[in-house]
Amino acid sequence: MRNYKILVSFLLLLPSIAQAQSLATVEHVDLDRYLGKWYEIASIPQYFQRQCVRDVTAEYALKNGAISVINRCTTASGEISEAEGQARIVDTLSNAKLEVTFVKLFGWRYIFGGDYWVIDLAPDYRYAVVGHPSRKYAWVLAKTAQISSQDLSAIEGRLKVNGYDTCGLLTTAQAPAVSVRLPLCEAVKAK
């Protein structure tokens, strides 16, 4: 009987294990087109962004064979908070799987980094969605501070298909247009 309970418990875990492994990335990322400044449109709130209240951006550039990462945001006191990191490509066939670290101790330490998978990308690179196989991380990024309601709705639908709870993503306040944070599942209804 005990073995049966263990087997049933294991079988109940299989869908979540398969889901974690089945997060698909885009077919290919042209790094030259991807580099530059991106505005955060929505994200799953993370502890390392807790000081950010609005105007969150990420800027990517090639530097010494890697990709430099500069994340910026405005804090509640109106100050600019900045974090410098570095990314490396993990899947060189697609360029869609990267590792990012913000730990620099005698060089960049990827052991303290995280997966950065491009899971959705507009053909003209006007938006991108970055995720993690665990579904605990997601960022909706755009080349402009605003995104159309059609794009946002389509992104939300694809996030759902990929196993994300879209009510767990919050929109990002970007001056001057967006001033409040809403769950993405509500934001698409409000537009």
First to last CA, the chain: 54
In a domain, 9, yes or no: no
In a domain, 17, yes or no: no
Number of domains, the chain: 1
User: What three-state secondary structure class fits 132?
Assistant: coil
Do 51 and 75 contact (CB within 8 A), yes or no?
A: yes
Label residue 179 by pLDDT band (50, 70, 90).
confident
Which CB contacts under 8 angstroms, 24+ apart, belong to 165-171? 165/135, 168/44, 169/42, 169/43, 169/44, 169/138, 169/140, 170/42, 170/43, 170/44, 170/45, 171/41, 171/42
Structural domain boundaries, residue 176: 24-190
In a domain, 5, yes or no: no
Widest Cα–Cα separation across the chain: 62
In a domain, 120, yes or no: yes
Q: What's the CATH number where 29 sits?
A: 2.40.128.20
In a domain, 83, yes or no: yes
Q: What is the pTM of this model?
A: 0.87
pLDDT > 90: percent of the chain: 75
Sequence-ordered alpha helix ranges (H) in the chain: 2-21, 31-34, 149-161, 184-190
Number of C-beta neighbours around residue 159 at 10 A:
24
In a domain, 14, yes or no: no
pLDDT at residue 60, rounded to an integer: 98
* Res. 154: pLDDT tops 50: yes
**Token pair of 121, please?**
């990308």
pLDDT in tens, 72-121: 999 999 999 999 999 999 999 999 999 999 988 878 888 888 999 999 99
Q: Calculate the average pLDDT of the chain.
A: 88
